[in-house]
Amino acid sequence: MYCQRKIFESSGRTVYLFFSEKLCKDKMQALEGKAERYVQDAKETMRMKADGTLRVSKTVIRRLRNPLISINVGIQGRFFSDDKEALEYVRRELSDGREGFFKLECSENLTPSDVLRIYRKRDTVEKLIESLKNQIDLRPLRVWSDNAVHGTLLLCFLAQTTVSMARYGIPEIRSKSAKFIIASLENLTVTYAYDNKHSLRRIYSNFEPLNSRILKDTAVVSGVCGG
C-alpha cells in the first residue's frame, strides 16, 4: 500500500491518494474477465457466412412486420486480425488507468494508516446498511412508536446475521449474494393438509439446490414429501 498526502492550509483539508497493489490486481482481473466476455459476445453476434459476407445474429437485428409498425435495427462492429488484438483493444477501452488508486479526504491531518483504519470501519457499516436496504429489503419505517422501530430493525439485523452465518459456515454459498439466498429460502413452502380423521400432515415443497444445501446444515426436517 502506497500513499501520497497533501495538506491544504486554507481549508484545513488533507487529501490522501492511495495505491493498493492488491486492489489493482483485483480490478485488472475483473477487467480481463469482462473483456473476454465482450470479445466472445461480439464473435457470437457477428459471424461470416460461407461466401464471406457478414451474417448478424437474428437476436440482434430483427424486422417487425406490422402494417402499423416498422422497426429497423442496425449494428456496427470493429474487425481485428485475431482475438488477441481484439482483446487488447477492449482492455484499453474498459480501463481508465486508475485501477488500484483511491482517494480519501479528512478534516484533520492524520497519518495515512489512521485514515485508512477509520475509513475501513466506516466502510463496513455502510456496506451493512446497504445490505439491509437492498438485500434484506428494509423499507421506510412507517411506524409511530419506538418499540415498533426497534422491532423492525431487530428482525432485519437477525435476518442479516442468519444469512451471514450461513455464508460463513457453508463455503459453497459464499459467492452468493444475500438477496439471492433470501429469494431461494422464500421459495420454500409448507402445506398443511388434514385427512378424514382430521390428522394434520405437513407437505414441504419447492426445494432447490441452494435452499436444500442450507437446510442440510441448519435444520433436520422429518416426514418430508413433495418436491
Q: What 3-state DSSP class applies to 15?
A: strand
Distance from C-alpha of 33 to C-alpha of 94, rounded to nearest angstrom: 11
pLDDT per position as a tens digit, 64-75: 555 665 555 555
Burial class (CB in 10 A: 0-12, 13-18, 19+), 188: middle
Q: Looking at the domain assignment, is residue 13 inside a domain?
A: no
Q: Are residues 139 and 221 in the same domain?
A: yes
For the chain, how many structural domains are there in total?
A: 2
220: containing domain: 135-227
Q: Looking at the domain assignment, is residue 128 inside a domain?
A: no
Asked which of 37, 71, 99 is the last residue of a domain, the reply is: 99
| The predicted structure's pLDDT at residue 19 | 92
Q: Are residues 177 and 89 in the same domain?
A: no
Q: Are residues 143 and 55 in the same domain?
A: no
Q: Are residues 27 and 85 in the same domain?
A: yes
Residue 187 has pLDDT above 70, yes or no: yes
Asked which of 99, 120, 152 is the last residue of a domain, the reply is: 99
Q: Looking at the domain assignment, is residue 113 inside a domain?
A: no
| The predicted structure's pLDDT at residue 148 | 82
Q: Looking at the domain assignment, is residue 178 inside a domain?
A: yes
| The predicted structure's pLDDT at residue 227 | 45
Read off the pLDDT band of 225 (50, 70, 90).
Answer: very low
* pTM across the whole model: 0.50
Q: Quick one: DSSP state of residue 74?
A: -
Read off the pLDDT band of 125 (50, 70, 90).
Answer: confident
Q: Which of 127, 120, 201, 213 is nearest to 174 (CA)?
A: 213
Residue 14 has pLDDT above 50, yes or no: yes
Per the model's pLDDT, the better-predicted residue between 190 and 178 turns out to be 190
Asked which of 75, 99, 123 is the last residue of a domain, the reply is: 99
Instruction: Indicate the residue type of 178.
Output: A
Read off the pLDDT band of 58 (50, 70, 90).
Answer: low
